[in-house]
Amino acid sequence: MRRRCVGRYKRGAMPVLPPGAPPSPTRVRHGVLAFTLTLTAIAYLDRVCIATAAPAMKDELGLSDVQMGYVFSAFTLAYAAFEVPSGWLADRFGARLMLARIVVWWSVMTAATGAVGGFLSLVAVRFLFGMGEAGTFPSITRAYGRWLPAPERGRAFGLALMTAALAGAATQPLVVMLLAQIHWRHTFVVFGCVGLAWAVAWLWWFRDDPHRHPDVNAAELQLIGSAPPTPHGAVPWGALLRSRNLWAMCTMYFGAIYGWYFYLTWLPTYLLRARGFDLQQVGWLAALPLLSIGAGVFVGGWLSDVLARRWGLRAGRRTPGLIGLPLAALAIVGAIRTPDPYAAAVLLAAAAGLAALGVSPAWAVCLEIGGHHAGVVSGAMNTFGNLGGTLSPIVMGLSLQTWGSWNAALATIVVGYALAAVSWLLIDPTQCPTE
């Protein structure tokens, strides 16, 4: 019987393998995946809790709908503004230091949200929160590029985004339960304490270069296909700015994430005020789109890996988004038109999952067209996505104040999904502007 071979043995004799038997690859890369899944769960735990607490915060702080829209958007504006610089830092200094810094920063800012005194201080804290959290997914992209074999990356991004969405879904009813027991200010302190232990463990265990991790053996290095790192060269900004591929990626992500942020911000308020549900019902119904997103990002990432092996990268990576986004737009139209509140909630959840089919493949494409500069490329794409996320809550608030209409706001999500679908037609993962 062949025994499992590991990269280092500190005590005792090496295991005896049958003559000529190759050593089994170690599985340290699975630990990297587990760490990043935990990270994305914590990120969305901290990011989503404000949406469920928003009605209580509005009442106590005396905020209008428009002001609440600006509060939601302060995070995403800062997140968008600092994505590319943070992606460059991840390329330059590695995911180990960047992700530890990011998690400590956002944990402090989450706790600080519970200490705000009004509109201006809340906007300032949320802006600082977004500034600190920027670079999370570009840094994860950098880690996956070093640690995961190419055929596994779409599925890995799907798992990471699915975990984020499921954590966001769990956050909705969890915050409702906490609000029944403690003040909304204290909920932010509770959630802010979660990330610090993760940062300590990450710094202790992770290495940017698989060759430097003490538990990785040669068989796993060969499986990963990761060469020793070379000096980080200058970013080819001119080639990137001229790349139709990159502009199409940015436009696509803008349209897709514009809709995503409706579910993260205004959905609980929509279900309360437009559809007549009570707070307990909202806690569960607002979780449905995030559960659907979790399924969508996982299926989309897995499907893009399967189709890329069968049809090639160009068709394989594009197909999930080209199918899902038009269907998502139709589901939003159905939610607008139906008078049944439960049907509307289900259709919105379906739209969220269908639109999410193209999200994980997009991050895999960033690795494929970004090469050594995948952090910058993914940061640019996520910048535009979060600009869409910044605009979305503001449009919702202005629509409510100006026209008193949720339907007009939801119609803009339909336009965003259509724009994203068209953009996928222009994306070619086989064309790399950085090489």
Q: Is 358 part of any domain?
A: yes
What Cα–Cα distance (Å) separates residue 267 from each residue in 107, 252, 258, 274?
24, 22, 13, 10
Q: What is the CA radius of gyration of the chain?
A: 22
For residue 33, what is the domain's CATH number?
Answer: 1.20.1250.20
Helices (H), 65-152: 65-81, 83-93, 95-113, 119-133, 136-147
pLDDT in tens, 112-145: 988 888 899 999 998 999 898 888 988 998 899 8
Is the per-residue pLDDT at 106 higher than 80?
yes
**417 with 315: CB under 8 angstroms?**
no
Residue 168 clears pLDDT 80, i.e. is over it:
no
Cα distance between residue 52 and residue 71, in whole Å: 14
Instruction: Tell which residue, 328, 35, 291, 37, has the closest CA to residue 158.
Output: 37
Map residue 215 onto helix, strand or coil.
Answer: coil
Query: Cα 62–411–289 angle (5° rounding)?
Result: 70
140 within 8 A of 228, measured Cβ to Cβ: no
Domain that holds residue 34: 28-224+238-424
Spell out the residues 6+ positions from residue 73 whose beta carbon is closer than 8 angstroms to its own. 389, 390, 391, 392, 393, 394
Burial of 347 (0-12, 13-18, 19+ CB in 10 A): buried
> Which is nearest to 137 in space by CA: 317, 429, 386, 434?
386
Enter the pTM of the model: 0.73
pLDDT band at 253 (very low <50, low <70, confident <90, very high): very high
pLDDT in tens, 291-307: 898 899 899 989 998 99
Burial (CB count within 10 angstroms: exposed 0-12, middle 13-18, buried 19+), residue 415: middle
Residue 4 pLDDT: 37
User: Per the domain annotation, does 117 fall within a domain?
Assistant: yes
Is 269 contained in some domain? yes
Asked if residue 16 belongs to a domain, the reply is no
Using CA atoms in the order 350, 176, 382, 204, what is the torsion angle rounded to 10 degrees? Answer: -120
Q: Are 272 and 282 in contact (CB under 8 A)?
A: yes
Find the DSSP H helices in 274-405: 279-285, 287-311, 313-337, 341-355, 359-370, 374-402
User: What is the arithmetic mean of pLDDT over 76-84?
Assistant: 86
pLDDT at 141: 85
Domain total of the chain: 1
Please tell me the number of Cα atoms within 13 Å of 162 on its side-chain side.
19
- For 231, the token pair is 């000096």
Per-residue pLDDT of 275-287, as tens digits, reads 878 777 877 788 7
Dig out the tokens for 284 from the structure: 């569960």
Residue 406 lies in a domain: yes
Q: What is the pLDDT of residue 419?
A: 96
**Structure-token pair, residue 30:** 């699975």
In a domain, 206, yes or no: yes
Q: Would residue 186 count as lying in a domain?
A: yes
CB 328 within 8 A of CB 349: no
Q: Over the stretch 343-375, which tens digit does the pLDDT of each residue have?
A: 999 999 999 999 999 998 998 898 888 777 878
Rounded Cα distance between 68 and 74, Å, is 10
Residue 153 lies in a domain: yes
